[in-house]
């Protein structure tokens, strides 16, 4: 496999200042897989769902080339459910409900075909599950990237620190970076986090863009595209991660220069994600949409200046 993704495949219910969704399909693994499938690499997902999960959604993932040998279906159990409510700025949210259901006892098993992934993306899931996946790899993948959230910092910080020692890239948001490091300054937070294991760190700042740090004191910043309307920010962070790892898997170049491009590609995928509820917009992104969006990022950040 060129890319193996681990992450929740779930139901979400979302409230924004503009409306409420019914129970819709979400999950970190879902957003990452759909965003990265844009690059048409050989990819598979490791996760678990209940018997209540819609089979037509799985068929859609299959059509996008996302292999599901690593996806367990527990017919008699319920899928993971998460509900969140966005504040007026659409940049911050409260979690209203987290029902782990099938995730509570999830024991990931890597099919033989997944045991030597070139790229491994550990999406938001219990850190002990992320660790079990790393341990089943027969060789160290070129890049292990990991995403996580405050929920796991609150209840499983020790396990989280163990995983951090084994990953190359960590992507988290600004609040989580502060919680993980105990530092308010994001630069100080990055320095501390990079000492915990990863060589690269991406700090996502929602509508304020994303910062990429490495452990040689280099920094890169990508803005978020100023969009007229943000419909539903859920999954933006995961779509970012999917675009980021998808770009790396498709170029197979893990230099800092190429990671900068991956941050732009991730930001482009996140900008599509927020335009509609759930995964809808991500599913309809065409090559022209993508090229145009990346061009907008280039235009947004390019300027000429003469310095004496
Ligand atoms: P994001 O908006 O990118 O941070 O990701 C939102 C997605 O994360 C939603 O689709 C949820 O289903 C999923 N999610 C929320 N909480 C958790 C959790 N504790 N573990 C795994 N996935 C979660």
Task: Pick the atom of ligand 1 nearest to 233's CA.
Answer: 2
Distance CA 256, CA 237 (A): 20
Q: What are phi and psi of 168, to 5 degrees?
A: -95, -35
Q: Is 44 in the pocket of ligand 1 (CB under 6 A)?
A: no
Cα 40 to ligand 1 centre (Å): 24
Nearest protein Cα to ligand 1, atom 12: 27
Is any ligand 1 atom within 6 A of the Cβ of residue 234?
A: yes
**Closest residue by CA, ligand 1 atom 5:** 235
Q: Is the CB of 210 under 6 A from ligand 1?
A: no
CA–centroid distance, residue 27 to ligand 1 (Å): 5
Report the pLDDT value the prediction gives residue 18, as an integer from 0 to 100: 83
* 8 Å CB contact between 86 and 58: no
Span from the CA of 7 to the centroid of ligand 1 (angstroms): 9
| Rounded Cα distance, 272 and 267, in Å | 9
Contact 98 CB / ligand 1 (< 6 Å): yes
Q: Is the CB of 269 under 6 A from ligand 1?
A: no
Q: 31 CA to middle of ligand 1, Å? A: 9
Q: Cβ atoms within 10 A of the Cβ of 254, count?
A: 16
Query: Which tokens in the block code for residue 174?
Result: 């600004």
125 lines ligand 1 (CB under 6 A): yes
Is any ligand 1 atom within 6 A of the Cβ of residue 145? Answer: no
Mutate to test the pocket of ligand 1, among 35, 124, 150, 154 (most ligand atoms within 8 A of CB): 124
Query: Half-sphere exposure of 153 toward its Cβ, with a 13 Å CA cutoff?
Result: 15
The predicted structure's pLDDT at residue 90 = 84
pLDDT of residue 158: 97
260: number of Cβ within 10 Å: 15
Task: Show the CA angle centred on residue 116, arms to residues 39 and 60, nearest 5°.
Answer: 40
Please list the pLDDT of the chain residue by residue as tens digits (308 residues).
999 999 999 999 999 988 898 899 999 999 999 999 999 899 999 999 999 999 999 999 999 999 999 999 999 999 999 999 999 888 889 999 999 999 999 999 999 999 999 999 999 999 999 999 999 999 999 999 999 999 999 999 999 999 999 999 999 999 999 999 999 999 999 999 999 999 999 999 988 999 999 999 999 999 999 988 888 999 999 999 999 999 999 999 999 999 999 999 999 999 999 999 899 999 999 999 999 999 999 999 999 999 98
How high is the pLDDT of residue 231?
86
Cβ of 25 less than 6 Å from ligand 1? no
151 Cβ closer than 6 Å to some ligand 1 atom: yes
**pLDDT of amino acid 308:** 82
Predicted local distance difference test score (pLDDT) of residue 89: 85
Of ligand 1's listed atoms, the one at least distance from the Cα of 173 is: 4
At residue 257, the 3 state secondary structure works out as helix
Phi and psi, residue 237, nearest 5°: -65, -40
CA of 147 to the centre of ligand 1 (A): 10
């Amino acid at each position: 496999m060129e890319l193996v993704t681990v992450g929740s495949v779930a139901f979400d219910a979302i409230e924004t200042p503009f409306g409420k969704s019914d129970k819709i399909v979400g999950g970190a693994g879902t957003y990452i897989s759909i965003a990265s499938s844009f690059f048409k690499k050989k990819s598979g997902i490791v996760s678990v769902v209940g018997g209540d999960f819609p089979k037509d959604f799985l068929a859609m993932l299959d059509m996008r080339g996302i292999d599901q040998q690593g996806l367990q279906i527990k017919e008699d159990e319920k899928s993971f459910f998460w509900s969140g409510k966005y504040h007026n700025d659409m940049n911050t949210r409260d979690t209203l409900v987290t029902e782990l259901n099938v995730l509570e006892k999830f024991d990931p098993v890597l099919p033989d075909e997944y045991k030597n992934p070139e790229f491994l993306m550990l999406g938001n899931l219990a850190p002990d599950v992320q660790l079990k996946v790393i341990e089943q790899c027969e060789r160290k993948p070129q890049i292990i990237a990991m995403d996580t959230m405050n929920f796991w910092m609150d209840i499983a910080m020790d396990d989280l620190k163990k995983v951090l020692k084994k990953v190359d890239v960590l992507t988290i948001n600004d609040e989580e970076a502060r919680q993980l490091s105990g530092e308010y300054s994001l630069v100080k937070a990055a320095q501390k986090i990079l000492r915990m294991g990863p060589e690269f760190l991406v700090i996502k700042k929602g509508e304020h863009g994303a910062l990429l740090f490495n452990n040689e004191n280099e920094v890169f910043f990508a803005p978020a595209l100023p969009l007229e309307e943000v419909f539903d920010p859920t999954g933006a962070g995961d779509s970012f991660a999917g675009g980021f790892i998808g770009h790396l898997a498709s170029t197979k170049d893990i230099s800092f220069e190429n990671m900068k491009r991956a941050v732009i590609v991730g930001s482009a995928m996140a900008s599509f994600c927020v335009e509609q509820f759930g995964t809808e917009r991500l599913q309809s992104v065409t090559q022209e949409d993508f090229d145009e969006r990346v061009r907008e990022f280039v235009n947004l950040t390019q300027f000429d200046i003469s310095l004496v």
